[in-house]
Amino acid sequence: MLPAAKKAGPHHARNKIKDVVAELDRMVPLTLSTRRQRSVLESGRTVQQLVEDLLVHVRAVVERDAIDGDHGGRRAETEEEGVCASLIKEGMLGSATLMMMVLDASNLTITSMSQGLLSHFKGLPFVGPVGQSAEHFVAHEDKKKFAEFVAGMVRAPGEKFESEFRMITCKGNFAARRFGVDQGCCENGNCILLLSTRDEPIQQ
With 90 as the cut, is the pLDDT of residue 187 above it? no
Residues 144-166 pLDDT 10s: 999 999 988 888 876 777 889 99
Contact partners, residue 60, CB within 8 Å, separation at least 6: 158
**DSSP β-bridge partners for residue 173:** none
CB 25 within 8 A of CB 42: yes
Beta strands in the chain (DSSP E): 100-104, 109-113, 161-170, 174-187, 190-197, 202-203
CB 117 within 8 A of CB 100: yes
With 50 as the cut, is the pLDDT of residue 110 above it? yes
Residues 126-136 pLDDT 10s: 888 999 999 99
User: Could you state, in order of their start, the residue ranges of all structural domains in the chain?
Assistant: 10-203
The predicted model scores a pTM of 0.61
**What pLDDT score was predicted for residue 74?**
47
Residues 47-90 pLDDT 10s: 777 777 777 776 666 565 555 555 544 444 544 444 555 556 66
Q: How far apart are CA 117 and CA 194, in angstroms?
A: 10
**What pLDDT score was predicted for residue 153?**
86
Q: How far apart are CA 8 and CA 105, in angstroms?
A: 34
**What pLDDT score was predicted for residue 67?**
54
Q: What architecture is the 10-203 domain classified under in CATH? A: 2-Layer Sandwich (3.30)
